[in-house]
Amino acid sequence: MKISVTKTTTPKAIPTDDSQLGFGQIFTDHMFIVEYEAGRGWFDPRIIPYQKLSLNPASPVLHYGQEVFEGSKAYALDNGEIGLFRFKDNARRLNQSAVRTCMPELDVEFQYEALCRLLDLDRNWVPQSAGTSLYLRPTMIADGANLGAHAASRYIYFIICSPSGAYFSEGLEPVGIRIETRYARSVRGGMGGAKTGGNYAASFKAAVEASAEGYSQILWLDGKEQKYVEEVGAMNIMFVIDGKLVTADLGDTILPGITRDSILQMARAKGLTVEERRIPVTELYEAHAQGLLTEAFGTGTAAVITPVGELAWGDRKITINNYEIGPIAQMFYDELTAIQRQQNADPYGWTTTVPHYQY
Ligand SMILES: *Cc1c(COP(=O)(O)O)cnc(C)c1O
């Protein structure tokens, strides 16, 4: 499919103060969009000026939440080029999420080309300061006008880009986490393994209540027994127990994070013992009592690593590593961000560079 390009005639001012970027509030001059119709397939791929979508109020996404999305980042490299990190894995994961929600897949190489052409056009929007990046949000929604409660027959895939600030201004700051025992984010057989908006909607109430109690995130337990650790906020969770790196094994209740996978690959390459398995909360508390729980941290694209300084399970509260970032979390943060910014060798083949296209 040939991607047509309509450039904006009213370019916006590119932010000059990177310390004011924040997250997800400013968008670049252009977006990519392609449409799908049952029987016809994907059609009319185009890069257009960033603009509002026009949806019929009966559009299925608005009623039944048939939607999936991705989150990735583009980096300003020291050599002036734009770097990407494992974007094709995001594209593959979007397709997996699409299959789970009865939406059509979109060719991975095509998603990659669409993104690269969009980034080539909005090159100047990738922020330059340390720790900043251009956040990428590919999204697929059900479109059309049909209140029938079944999978739609029309879809839209689009990519928008948002310059975003350094996540932590003063180094990695540990957060306090409440272990959630009232609500569940996902259940066996549900959609927890798909990156779909409804999972986020399902999590907000617990987050609001935790925040009112002074905690910044939720530690989610399995929805059935509320015994086993699954994720933290919208991140995967890892622990260092007796020198081993321990994380929940993937199943249909846990989102297969690309940051998670990257850290596990790096850990194995370093000869660290890695365990992907069920983790009972009681084990964490016992390991802590024995002095064996030395680190806990969330992993995800937005912050890369978020150290956990405190866990609260009802009134049982424990402090981890003196509320400081631990050496293993710091090491993975430093090494992974250096690979992402192409400042270190990339033995894994994770990084690519946006080409310069001729128009
Ligand atoms: C996106 C997401 C993650 C992290 O995935 P990354 O690919 O590492 O960014 C983890 N958990 C949930 C629920 C998510 O939505």
pLDDT digits (tens, 9 = 90+) for 107-139: 999 999 999 999 999 999 999 999 999 999 999
**Cβ of 70 less than 6 Å from ligand 1:** no
**Domain holding 57: CATH number?**
3.30.470.10
Confidence at residue 167, expressed as pLDDT on a 0 to 100 scale? 76
Question: To the nearest whole number, what is the mean pLDDT of the chain?
Answer: 96
What's the pLDDT score for residue 169?
61
Ligand 1: distance of its center to the CA of 313 in Å?
23
Last residue of a domain, one of 113, 139, 165: 165
What is the model's pLDDT at position 358?
85
On the question of pLDDT at 23 being above 70, the answer is yes
Query: Ligand 1 pocket: which of 133, 229, 265, 301 to mutate (most atoms <8 Å of CB)?
Result: 301
Task: For residues 137 and 205, state if they share a domain.
Answer: no
pLDDT score at 26: 97
The domain boundary residue, chosen from 111, 138, 165: 165
Whether the per-residue pLDDT at 170 is higher than 70: the answer is no
Residue 168 predicted with pLDDT over 90: no
**83 and 194, same structural domain?**
no
Residue 310, domain member (yes or no): yes
Range of the domain at 182: 175-337
Q: What is the CA(338)–ligand 1 centre distance, in A?
A: 20
Cα–ligand 1 centroid distance for 5 (angstroms): 31
Domain identity same for 72 and 215: no
SS3 281: helix
CA 307 remoteness from chain centre: 17
The answer to the question of residue 194 being in a domain is: yes
User: How is 90-147 classified by DSSP, letter by letter?
Assistant: HHHHHHHHHHHTT-----HHHHHHHHHHHHHHTGGGS--STT-EEEEEEEEEEESS--
255 lines ligand 1 (CB under 6 A): yes
The percent of the chain in helix, strand and coil, each rounded to the nearest 5, is 25, 30, 45
Residue 187: what pLDDT?
Answer: 93
Do 43 and 154 fall into the same domain?
Answer: yes
144 and 191 assigned to the same domain: no
Q: Is the CB of 185 under 6 A from ligand 1?
A: no
Q: How many domains does the chain have?
A: 2
Residues 64 and 130 reside in one and the same domain = yes
Residue 229 sits in a domain whose CATH number is: 3.20.10.10
Q: How far is the CA of 306 from the centre of ligand 1 (A)?
A: 13
* Whether residue 238 is found in the same domain as residue 317: yes
Q: What are the tens digits of pLDDT across the range 311-331? A: 999 999 999 999 999 999 999
For the chain, how far is it from start to end, CA to CA, in angstroms? 16
Claim to verify: residue 112 and residue 246 sit in the same structural domain: no
Under DSSP, is residue 342 helix (H, G, I), strand (E, B) or coil?
A: coil
Please compute the mean of the pLDDT values over residues 285-313 and round it to a whole number. 97
Does 152 reside within a domain?
A: yes
